[in-house]
Structure 1
Amino acid sequence: MFNFFRAQPKQDEITPVEVQQRLAQGERLYLLDVREREEYAEAHIPDSVLIPLGQLSRKLSSIPKDATIIAICRSGNRSGVAADLLRRAGYSNVLNLRGGIIAWARAGLPLVM
């Protein structure tokens, strides 16, 4: 009834639950984690690919253009930068994981530790 009070994701963002739903439906998602190696080693989303933000522009050729790319970081800031970089590089289907790995963990979704 009062859902209009709840903060809604921006158009270029996706919530952790929405990502999990899309994965469960078999949608082809490329989970791009742009954190540093140490952060990724602590905890990451299963099947995510690590490309630290500082290396992203040099590794664009390894990122598929035919999948929906979900950019992931700790809280959503660095991944927002990564998503913008990808869009400027010609990737059209890019979403930022709202709240990052912190929101993913808070939602109780699976992590590799």
Structure 2
Amino acid sequence: MFRRPSIPAVAAVDVAEDAYLLDVREDDEWTAGHAPGAVHVPMMQVPARIDDIPEDRDVVVVCRVGGRSAQVVAFLQQNGRDRTINLDGGMQSWAAAGRPMVSEDGGAPRVL
């Protein structure tokens, strides 16, 4: 009966090497493992930091499995950020696709 707006998504294997990756996970998730070059802005900080997010290029938003990032994409699009895209399957699909990861704690990168 009611349809949710369609959220654009991209598969991990299709994310360009130079893509702007916005990681909206919590601090412990970020520390455990993230994509190199990603920018960390926890989901709840996005409204206050919206001006830090580029408008002039595609922004791929990522979380653990894609739910939180889809909400952030919807929020950004409602606020005029049309070039935002959800990472389908989140960091779990990123890791499963063999995409590079780094950690901030000195351990092997992992997805929490």
Q: TM-score range by the shorter chain?
A: 0.7 to 0.9
Aligned AA (1:37): D
In the alignment, structure 2 segments of 5+ residues that lack a partner are: 1-5, 104-112
Runs (4+) of structure 1 moved beyond 6 Å? none
The answer on 1:103 being equivalent to 2:93 is: yes
Q: What percentage of residue pairs aligned between the two structures are identical? A: 36
> What SS does the aligned partner of 1:17 have?
helix
> What SS does the aligned partner of 1:57 have?
coil
Distance, in Å, in 1 between the alignment partners of 2:99 and 2:60 is: 15
Aligned to 1:15: 11
The answer on 1:72 being equivalent to 2:67 is: no
- Normalised by the length of structure 1, the TM-score is 0.83
Cα RMSD of the aligned pairs, angstroms, is 1.3
- Length, aligned pairs only: 98
Structure whose residues are more often helix by fraction: 1
- Of structures 1 and 2, the one scoring higher in RCO (CA 8 A, sep 6+) is 2
Distance, in Å, in 2 between the alignment partners of 1:93 and 1:62 is: 14
In the alignment, structure 1 segments of 5+ residues that lack a partner are: 1-9
Aligned AA (1:16): A
Aligned to 1:58: 48
